Amino acid sequence: MRALRFLLQKEFRQIFRDKGFIGRLFIAPAIQLILLPMAANYTIKNVNIAIVDHDHSSVSQKLSNKILSSGYFKLAGYTDFNSKASGLIENDKADLVLEIPEGFEKNLIRENSQKIAIEVNAINGVKASIGFGYLSGIINDYNNDIRLQWLQPQSVSATPTIDVVSSYWYNPSLTYYIFMVPAILVSLVTGVAGLSAAFNIVKEKEIGTIEQINVTPIKKWEFILGKLIPFMVMGGVVFTVGLFIAWALYGIIPLGNIALLYLFLYVFLFAILGFGLLISTYSNTQQQANSLMFLFMMVFNMMSGLYTPIDSMPGWAQFVTHLFPVSYFIDVMRMVVIKGSGLHDVRMHILYVFLIGFVLNTWAILNYRKTT
């Protein structure tokens, strides 16, 4: 343990000598946690819509006003010509085209039915499907309104109705950043801790101090542990700063036990730092380590459930995702922060991440070749 104590002293001195240490530890994560949730907004607004009104009746105008006053749509053009509206889609100035046929109001009164056409620019599939859903819902609401206006009072009272009472658990206001901020915090902790660990042994190789360490009687597990502990402390600091920003800026207070979050944090850091050190043992330069870690960070972000649900992925992708400790931490953060889950609910997550960390750190120790 005496050798480990000297290693830790050396590591902390080396870390604080780094001029960019404060920026990486505090400033960069804080800026990202402030800006990223604003960019990762699931609420789609300002869908550009072109309206082709061949009818010019009071009913068609009321429908157009209802659509534009919903707050989701922005008028890209109001015209009588289909060719002009098609040109707006071709030039990416319109996402949707609503065509109201001639005789729209007259056919509704005489035949109680009328078809309208919706053309969708589906280059951006997500925006297209959500915009179409918004528009369909508004048209259905308008359809119900005019039916109630035109039916006789006795018919209205005799018409059976179903009232739906909705109840949203855990996030009643459907606020997107309550769901996104905990996951983005996990991504930031992963980046700071993983990259720092990946650079560490490589930096020793580049400046030549690794050769001096190799001729000492320090054991390989002591060397790896001496690299792990300082960055676990750094990860804890970044996580604490992130929780403070989430509370101060977004008003997010974990419903569950904060101590449980820190327990899982250090189990997670044990795994992700082991992964960073493993990359470091395979790399000869900091550029190699940076490229490898950046590649895996992209995979972690795309396949960990940060932006898309894991359950909607193909079976092979779900299997691969469950090998990533990041996916477990994101799940635990959302469970504890939003649902108030306890230790019993996340005990298997802790076990899986610990096993992943044990494998990665053992691999790093075995792969580190200490020569005398």
* CA separation for the pair 158, 73 (Å, rounded): 36
What was the pLDDT predicted at 6? Answer: 67
What does residue 77 show for φ and ψ, rounded to 5 degrees? 180, 145
For 96, list phi and psi in degrees, rounded to 5.
-135, 150
Please give the Cα distance from 61 to 100 (Å, whole number).
10
CA nearest neighbour of 270 among 350, 343, 200, 183: 350
Closest alpha carbon to 300 in 323, 332, 277: 323
The CATH T-level fold of domain 47-158 is: abc type-2 transporter like fold (3.40.1710)
Domain ranges of the chain: 2-40+180-367, 47-158
Instruction: Let me know: does 53 contact 67? Beta carbons within 8 Å.
Output: no
Are the beta carbons of 61 and 15 closer than 8 angstroms? no
Q: Alpha-carbon distance 321 to 315, whole Å? A: 10
In angstroms, rounded to a whole number, what is the distance separating the alpha carbons of residues 126 and 134?
12
Mapping DSSP onto H, E and C, the string for 293-339 reads HHHHHHHHHHHCCCCCCHHHCCHHHHHHHCCCHHHHHHHHHHHHHHH
The predicted pLDDT at position 372 comes to 37
Instruction: Name the residue with tokens 């395979």.
Output: 282
The predicted structure's pLDDT at residue 162: 54
H/E stretch holding 76:
strand 73-79
**Contact status, residue 303 vs residue 313, Cβ threshold 8 Å:** yes
pLDDT of residue 371: 45
Angle ∠(197,349,222) on CA atoms, nearest 5: 35
pLDDT of residue 305: 83
What pLDDT does residue 344 have? Answer: 92
200 contacts 234 by C-beta, under 8 angstroms: no
The pLDDT score that the predictor gives to residue 310 is 85
Backbone angles phi, psi at 53, to 5 degrees: -110, 105
Contact 27, 114 (CB under 8 A): no
Nearest CA to 265 out of 301, 303, 233, 309 is that of: 233
pLDDT the model gives residue 350 = 95
CB 236, CB 266: distance < 8 Å: yes
Contacts of 345 (CB under 8 A, 6+ apart): 335
Eight-class DSSP state of 47: E
What CA–CA distance (Å, rounded) separates 198 from 360?
13
Helix axes 325-334, 176-207, angle to 10 degrees: 150
Q: Under a CB-based contact definition with an 8 Å cutoff, are residues 193 and 24 in contact?
A: no
Kindly calculate the radius of gyration of the chain based on its CA atoms and give it in whole angstroms.
Answer: 29
Sort strands 96-100 and 47-53 into parallel, antiparallel or unpaired.
parallel
Residues 56, 221: Cα–Cα separation, whole Å: 80
Q: Is the dihedral of CA 66, 71, 72, 77 positive or negative?
A: positive
pLDDT in tens, the chain (372 residues): 666 676 777 767 766 676 666 666 677 778 888 887 777 666 677 888 999 888 888 888 888 898 988 888 888 888 887 778 888 888 888 888 888 888 887 877 777 677 888 888 888 777 778 888 888 888 888 887 776 666 555 454 555 555 566 667 887 777 778 888 998 999 889 988 888 888 777 777 776 666 666 666 677 777 777 777 888 888 888 899 999 999 998 888 999 999 999 999 999 999 998 898 888 888 888 888 888 888 888 888 888 888 778 887 888 888 989 899 999 999 999 999 999 999 999 999 999 999 999 999 888 888 876 543
